[in-house]
């Protein structure tokens, strides 16, 4: 089913799949070649610097502040439950989710692991 989704997405001109998953399905998406990211959002405007300050290790893939929300997507390269828990502890009104991203076209990945 996932291969069909990828094929249909390519036919429609998409280059990237972005999926959320139940915790029990996380190993499946890793085996299928998806990269892990942590998505954090908080219903506060102008919180970006505070969200970014909590992260000292991962590259920022995307960020936004609009309509009263601040959102951050970090390239974690692995499932980092401790970072997710730190965000949830530090910002009790935030929501977090492990997000799985896969490049399905012959284009550069969203982020590359620093080496």
Q: What is the pLDDT of residues 40-92, one digit of tens each?
A: 999 999 999 999 999 989 999 999 999 999 999 999 999 999 999 999 999 99
The pLDDT, as a whole number, for residue 112 is 47
Domain that holds residue 90: 25-103
CATH number, position 32: 3.30.70.120
Domain total for the chain?
Answer: 1
Show Cβ contacts of residue 43 under 8 Å, excluding neighbours closer than 6 positions. 68, 69, 93
> Could you tell me what percent of the chain has a pLDDT over 90?
84
**How far apart are alpha carbons 23 and 51 in whole angstroms?**
23
**How far apart are alpha carbons 66 and 71 in whole angstroms?**
9
Show Cβ contacts of residue 64 under 8 Å, excluding neighbours closer than 6 positions. 70, 71
pTM, full prediction: 0.85
């Amino acid at each position: 089913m996932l291969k069909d989704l990828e094929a249909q997405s390519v036919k429609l001109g998409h280059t990237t799949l972005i999926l959320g998953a139940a915790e029990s399905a996380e190993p499946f998406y890793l085996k299928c070649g998806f990269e892990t990211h942590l998505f954090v959002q908080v219903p506060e405007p102008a919180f970006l610097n505070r969200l970014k300050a909590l992260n000292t290790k991962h590259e920022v893939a995307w960020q936004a502040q609009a309509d009263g929300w601040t959102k951050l997507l970090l390239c974690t390269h692995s499932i980092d439950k401790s970072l997710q828990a730190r965000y949830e502890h530090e910002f009790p009104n935030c929501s977090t989710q492990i997000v799985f991203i896969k490049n399905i076209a012959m284009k550069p990945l969203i982020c590359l692991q620093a080496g």
